[in-house]
């Protein structure tokens, strides 16, 4: 499904429930918020419901307080069956958490809008465009096709998502088109200084303490080319933080010239383990994540792990070491 087809699909329906992956980040939330406001301005009925609450860091995106947690939303089956579900920033339904069974499985229809690589053949109503920097960049184009006139509110939401998913416009998928989109959003009222401050300079002290604990776990392997950090549920309890408060820490080791791949093993409050992977581009971490049932794109990927922390750490390290060796052999 192309950008134009996705816009036409949305234009032809009136009732929507928007959602994103568990632990939604600024890209998913910005896309949800901007799309919800744009569809509402067209007279459509829209709810935004995620599996869990988003980090307080992202409160500035949801100014109108329209993004709900599924346990508090009070949705009934009649409303769900009358609605089309729009899943944003993931093409894997299971990454939506409880939304998968409680909403997507019962909804009238489904469309997925995402910028990550699709595993296998894409379903008919999947608008997947891995060449774009972010889901928010895709939504910028879709909203233009819908005739939306960007307000300061919708422009700021999309700009925040683009800043987050491009690493402040530094990652490899940042293109001239990305900058053109960002420029139009700034002209519509998005304030780069305020948005950067809200994303990266507004954390509470307990978040700073959590980051200190995580950085203390840093280990280096493969001649300092691979960095591993760990977040445990015990750290969350001790600092009074949430797992989402550790966002961005995976990128810290990549500041070192020698480090090519960063691995972040993190438990949430319930002890569920997730592995995130980042690379500087030479190693395709999406392929590694896919071998564990996950996904992503070349430089950023992840997966949920059913295995104990030490087990998955060893398996991921093994695959990254092999990938680095293969790359060196091809040089």
19 near 96, Cβ under 8 Å?
Answer: yes
Same domain, yes or no: 320 and 222: yes
Please tell me the predicted confidence (pLDDT) of residue 123: 66
High-pLDDT (> 70) share of the chain, %: 98
pLDDT of residue 120: 60
* The last residue of a domain, from among 177, 200, 223: 200
Pick from 174, 200, 226: which residue ends a domain? 200
273: which strand partners? 267, 305
Pair 323, 259 in one domain: yes
Domain total in the chain: 2
Angle CA 162–163–165, to nearest 5: 65
Per-residue pLDDT band at 10 (split at 50, 70, 90): very high
Size of the chain, expressed as the number of residues it contains: 331
Q: Note whether 71 and 171 are same-domain residues.
A: yes
Per-residue pLDDT, 122:
58
* Residues 116 and 12 placed together within one structural domain of the fold: yes
At residue 331 the predicted structure's pLDDT band, cuts being 50, 70 and 90, is low
- In this prediction, residues 173-187 reach a mean pLDDT of 96
User: Do 237 and 189 belong together in one domain?
Assistant: no
CATH number of residue 313's parent domain: 3.10.310.30
**Domain end point (choices 134, 167, 200):** 200
Mean pLDDT (whole number) for 267-281: 85
Are residues 156 and 280 located together in one domain of the fold?
no
What phi, psi does 216 have (nearest 5°)? -70, -15
Are both 309 and 255 inside the same structural domain? yes
Please say if the pLDDT value at position 229 is more than 90: yes
Taking CA atoms, 11 is separated from 14, 39, 41, 78, in Å, by 8, 8, 12, 22
Same domain, 97 and 157: yes
Of residues 134 and 298, more confidence is placed in 134
Do 173 and 43 belong to one domain?
A: yes
Question: pLDDT tens for residues 121-165?
Answer: 556 789 988 899 999 999 999 999 999 999 999 999 999 999 999
pLDDT at 246: 83
pLDDT digits (tens, 9 = 90+) for 20-77: 998 889 999 999 999 999 999 999 999 999 998 888 889 999 999 999 999 998 899 9
Structure tokens at 9: 């699909």
Distances (CA, A) of 81 to 11, 75, 105, 107, 177: 19, 10, 9, 5, 38
Q: Are residues 238 and 285 in the same domain?
A: yes
The boundaries of the domain holding residue 250 are: 205-330
Q: Are residues 226 and 119 in the same domain?
A: no
107: domain CATH number is 3.90.1640.10
Residue 183 shares a structural domain with residue 37: yes
Kindly state the average pLDDT of the residues 264-278: 86
């Amino acid at each position: 499904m192309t950008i134009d087809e996705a816009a036409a699909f949305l234009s032809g329906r009136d009732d929507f429930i928007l959602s994103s992956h568990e632990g939604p980040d600024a890209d998913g939330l910005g896309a949800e918020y901007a799309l919800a406001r744009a569809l509402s301005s067209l007279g459509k009925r829209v709810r935004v419901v995620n599996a869990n609450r988003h980090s307080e860091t992202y409160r500035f995106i949801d100014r109108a307080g329209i993004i709900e947690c599924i346990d508090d939303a009070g949705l009934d089956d009649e409303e769900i069956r009358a609605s089309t579900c729009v899943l944003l920033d993931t093409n894997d339904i299971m990454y939506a958490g409880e939304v998968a069974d409680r909403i997507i499985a019962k909804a009238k229809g489904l469309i997925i809008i995402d910028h990550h690589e699709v595993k296998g053949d894409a379903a008919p109503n999947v608008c997947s465009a891995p060449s774009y920097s972010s889901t928010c960049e895709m939504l910028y184009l879709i909203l233009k096709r819908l005739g939306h006139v960007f307000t300061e509110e919708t422009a700021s939401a999309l700009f925040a998502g683009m800043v987050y998913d491009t690493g402040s416009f530094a990652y490899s998928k940042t293109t001239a088109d990305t900058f053109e989109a960002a420029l139009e959003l700034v002209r519509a009222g998005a304030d780069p200084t305020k948005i950067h401050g809200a994303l990266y300079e507004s954390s509470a002290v307990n978040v700073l303490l959590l980051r200190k604990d995580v950085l203390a776990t840093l280990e280096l392997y493969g001649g300092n080319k691979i960095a591993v950090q760990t977040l445990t549920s015990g750290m969350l309890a001790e600092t009074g933080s949430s797992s989402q408060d550790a966002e961005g820490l995976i990128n810290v080791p990549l500041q070192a010239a020698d480090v090519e791949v960063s691995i972040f093993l993190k438990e949430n409050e319930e002890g569920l383990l997730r592995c995130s992977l980042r690379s500087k581009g030479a190693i395709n971490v999406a392929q590694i994540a896919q071998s564990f049932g996950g996904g992503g794109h070349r430089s950023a990927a992840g997966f949920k792990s059913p295995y104990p922390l030490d087990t998955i750490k060893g398996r991921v390290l093994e695959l990254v070491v092999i990938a680095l060796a293969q790359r060196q052999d091809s040089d």
